[in-house]
Amino acid sequence: MLHNSLAIQQAILKTIIYADIFTCSLKTKEIYQKLQYNQKIAYQTFKHNLEILIKNKKIYCQQDFCILIQRQELIALRKQRIKISLSKQKILERRLKYFKIIPFIKAIFLTGSVATQNCREEDDIDLLIICQKNSLWLCRILVVLWSDLLRIRRKPKDKIFTNKLCFNIFLEESSLTLAKNQQNIFSANELIQAKALLDKDQFADKLLQDNIWILDFLAQSFVIKDSPHKIERTSYLLSLINKIAYLLQRSYMRSKITQETIKYDQAFFHKQNLSIIIQKEFNTRKKAFGLI
């Protein structure tokens, strides 16, 4: 298939501009994986167009890191942040043993700035948890109580939260697909960046396959393949306890809910709708570069 070179170059620029919002420089293969292009292209085609942008001084690359012109400081910053992120990941891996005893947890994914290896020393550690069907709210109670007992959970009023765990997203194994209004460039990037650290049943593949819409934004991010997964039948008693846990927590949170998305089988505990904030900034920056 023939591809429009200009369109590919614009896609590369958009990808680097998007990373720049997070003060992040990207490695060449990261740009390819996160390329904001809705068609599959060969890596050689991508690399050829990347080199054209470098030659035309639209972007600057050094030691495999690429940035916008006059943003060279981001290369040293990213190297520093990679070291910080790896250190935080080691802390998290030591803590994971505490959560293996919770029977309803199917997988734990590292997300956010630590997953992208672009975090600051003072940052917390964002996590996504996949739970057994009809157990999300019981699972959440156990996760919150256990992490509070260990004093490792970030709480809403914390002003210092370095290395604290932030359980941002809970999904049931049967409800991994994000709702239509959540399907955007921000969520697409968040999902492909998520790193499975505890994964009992190969949910790393299933999370992406159940969100095939990602390929409309980032066509190079993963390959479509079968990801069979057998969901065990949940007992009536567990379903009942989970429903009670949901109603109790929903009632407790009612006055506190702002931007959070709370459902029986999915919960997103983001205080701010970052996707809207990031998209607005992204549009402004694209316009400055003459991009649509």
Phi and psi at 204, nearest 5°, equal -60, -40
* CA pair distance 149, 162, nearest whole angstrom: 17
Take residue 56 and report the two structure tokens written for it. 């035309």
Average pLDDT over residues 50-74: 96
Average pLDDT over residues 67-82: 97
Take residue 115 and report the two structure tokens written for it. 């997953």
Predicted confidence band at 226 (pLDDT cuts at 50, 70, 90)?
confident
Q: How is residue 176 annotated by DSSP?
A: -
Domain 83-271 has CATH 3.40.50.970: no
The per-residue pLDDT for 267 is: 96
218-232, 239-253, 259-273 — most confident range? 239-253
pLDDT tens for each residue of 144-201: 999 999 999 999 889 999 999 999 999 999 999 999 999 999 999 999 999 999 998 8
List the strands of the sheet with 26-27, edge to edge. Answer: 26-27, 65-68, 59-62
Contact status, residue 239 vs residue 250, Cβ threshold 8 Å: no
Predicted confidence band at 1 (pLDDT cuts at 50, 70, 90)?
low
- 1-76+278-289, CATH topology level: Arc Repressor Mutant, subunit A (1.10.10)
Contact status, residue 3 vs residue 39, Cβ threshold 8 Å: yes
pLDDT at 79 over 80: yes
CATH 1.10.10.10 positions along the chain are 1-76+278-289
CATH 3.30.460.10 positions along the chain are 83-271
State the average pLDDT for the chain: 94
The per-residue pLDDT for 103 is: 87
Predicted confidence band at 231 (pLDDT cuts at 50, 70, 90)?
confident
Closest CA to 242 of 186, 170, 151: 170
Contact status, residue 221 vs residue 213, Cβ threshold 8 Å: no
| Three-state SS at 278 | helix
Q: Give pTM, 2 decimals.
A: 0.94
